[in-house]
Each structure stands twice: as C-alpha cells, then as structure tokens.
C-alpha cells in the first residue's frame, strides 16, 4: 500500500469509527439493483459517501452511494449501499477499502451481494446463488505480501448458516462459483463458454477484492449473487445494465427475506470478540 492509499485507508478508518461503525455486528454490501434492502433497516441513519473522508464512490446506476446504519432483525448492521469497481478506475485497495476498515473495527461478519450473469441455462431468472468460491480474473489483488493465504475466503460455517436460513424461509438458493472479471464490457459468447468449461456458475465484475481484503483483516465472509440475466450467448438477448437492475428489483422480496433471516441467525449465535478492534 503506497503512502497515498495508506492515508486514505487511515482517513476512512477514523471516519467509520466516528460514525459508530464498530457497533455493527454485520456489514452488508449491496450490489446493482439490491439497494432497496436498506428500506428494511430499523432506526436507519444514512450518510452519503461524499461526506465520508477516504470513502471511494461509484458513478454506476443502481449504486446509491451511502452507508446505512441501524438494525436488521434486531441486529446492529451497517449497509454499504453501492460499491466502486475496478473498471471505474479504482484500485483493488480502494475497491475493498471500506470492508477492510469495517473488519479492522471489529465487525464480525461480512455479507457481500452482487448482480451476476448466470452460466447455468436451467436456472430461472432472477434467482439467488451463494458463492462457494470465486475465480479472481480481475488481474488485481488488495492483499499485501504478508497477507497471502490459502484456500477460499468464504467462511464454511457462515455458508452453512445461509443455506439453513434459506430453507427456513422458503427461498430457493443455488450454490456455485463466481468468476470475477474486470469489466466494464459484458463477456463475449466465447468467453462465456470458456468460463463455464473452467467451472464457473456465474460471472460478474465485483466481490472478489472485497472478499479477499475482509477475510485478510479477520472478518467472516459470505457472498450471495442475484442471477439477473443469462450470460451472453445463453439467451435470445444480449445483457444490459437496465435488465440487471430491474431483475435485482424483481428478486428483492426473496433477497430481503433471506438476508434478514441470515442476519437474525448471526445475531442469535453472537459475535465473539465483536466489540474488540483488530490490530
């Protein structure tokens, strides 16, 4: 991390501390079209990104650009309503800065969400998929040399909790591998066939950097994709952002039901060491 990025990181860390982010037990990042979950937060307090020192902001439609503090299902949460992307010119460190800072402040669990293109023609649109792993094909990493790790950043126990919550509230939930791509263009037909052959079940342009950074900083990480469209070449139409945002809205009810049940389960289990800042 160079000096400028370190200053940005420290500025955001202090900003989040001052906003009371350390009181949250669960952090949630909301992807394209999934922002309305913030409407379900009780005693909500929202702060625009441009009022938070050190906080990168996205200009992509469907990313409102604010942090929302409050309670979901009685559990203290902070929602990142919109994210920045590598294809907008942000670095891997900047794209993952907020979740890393939240983890360093002691937020125990991070739930990442995104809109993704499906590679499984048998899946309905829209539908939900829990990430069992990802392929980081973005040619970037937020990790320092001393943070190199092994295996997946996605927490197995948290994944099992999500599966159980989905069954409990009656939400169909696929499981699969997410291929994180640089963007901003959607994949070509040939690229879609290649990713499917390599073992991906969905493709998108986010999530991997955040998962890696938050995991390295000590948070438990899980992620859910809203499959908003079939990837290029798997349907009669080509992907477009308006379709993605609209499908995210259509999936909103099941998405909100599932995330709320997951947060409630995390809260009932408690967050060991949640109030202690990490070094």
The yes-or-no answer on residue 146 being catalytic is no
Choosing from 71, 88, 243, 246, the catalytic residue is 88
The yes-or-no answer on residue 274 being catalytic is no
CA atoms of 262 and 249, how far apart (whole Å) = 20
Choosing from 15, 206, 211, 231, the catalytic residue is 206
Choosing from 24, 55, 63, 216, the catalytic residue is 63
| Helices vs. strands in the chain: H and E counts, helices first | 8, 9
Report the relative pairing of strands 202-204 and 173-180 from DSSP bridges: parallel
Beta strands in the chain (DSSP E): 26-30, 42-48, 66-72, 75-81, 109-118, 127-136, 173-180, 202-204, 220-230
The yes-or-no answer on residue 87 being catalytic is yes
Choosing from 5, 235, 241, 274, the catalytic residue is 241
CA distances from 9 to 23, 82, 83, 101 (A): 19, 18, 16, 7
The yes-or-no answer on residue 230 being catalytic is no
Q: Which residue has the tokens 């591998």?
A: 177
Choosing from 9, 21, 32, 116, the catalytic residue is 32
Choosing from 9, 85, 195, 215, the catalytic residue is 85
Question: Which of 265, 130, 262, 137 lies closest to 204 in space, CA to CA?
Answer: 137
Helix (H, G, I), strand (E, B) or coil at 248: helix
Angle, CA 191 vertex, CA 255 and CA 129 arms, to 5°: 15
Choosing from 115, 116, 196, 222, the catalytic residue is 115
Choosing from 5, 40, 87, 243, the catalytic residue is 87
The yes-or-no answer on residue 115 being catalytic is yes
Choosing from 15, 91, 136, 229, the catalytic residue is 229
Choosing from 205, 219, 256, 261, the catalytic residue is 205
Burial of 165 (0-12, 13-18, 19+ CB in 10 A): buried
CA atoms of 77 and 89, how far apart (whole Å) = 29
Instruction: Give catalytic residue positions.
Output: 32, 63, 85, 87-88, 115, 205-206, 229, 241
């Amino acid at each position: 991390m160079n000096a400028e990025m370190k200053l940005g990181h420290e500025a955001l860390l202090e900003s989040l501390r001052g906003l009371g982010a350390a009181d949250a037990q669960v952090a949630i990042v909301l992807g394209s079209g999934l922002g309305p979950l913030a409407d379900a937060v009780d005693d909500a307090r929202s702060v625009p990104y441009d009022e938070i020192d050190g906080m990168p902001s996205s200009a992509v439609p469907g990313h409102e650009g604010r942090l929302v503090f409050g309670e979901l299902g009685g559990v203290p949460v902070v929602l990142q309503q919109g994210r920045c992307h590598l294809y907008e010119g942000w670095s891997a460190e900047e794209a993952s800065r907020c979740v890393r800072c939240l983890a360093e402040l002691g937020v125990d669990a991070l739930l990442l969400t995104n809109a993704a293109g499906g590679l499984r023609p048998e899946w309905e649109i829209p539908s939900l998929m829990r990430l069992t792993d990802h392929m980081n094909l973005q040619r970037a990493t937020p990790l320092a040399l001393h943070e190199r790790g092994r295996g997946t950043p996605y927490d197995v126990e948290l994944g099992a909790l999500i599966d159980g919550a989905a069954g409990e509230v009656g939400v169909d939930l696929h499981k699969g591998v997410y291929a994180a791509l640089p963007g901003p263009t959607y994949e070509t037909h040939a690229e879609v066939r290649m990713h499917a052959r390599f073992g991906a079940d969905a493709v998108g342009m986010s999530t991997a950097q955040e998962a890696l950074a938050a995991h390295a900083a000590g948070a438990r990480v899980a992620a859910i994709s809203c499959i908003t469209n079939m990837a290029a070449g798997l349907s009669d139409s080509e992907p477009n952002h308006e379709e993605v945002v609209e499908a995210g809205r259509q999936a909103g009810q099941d998405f909100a039901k599932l995330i709320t049940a997951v947060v409630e389960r995390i809260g009932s289990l408690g967050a060991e060491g949640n109030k202690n800042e990490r070094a």
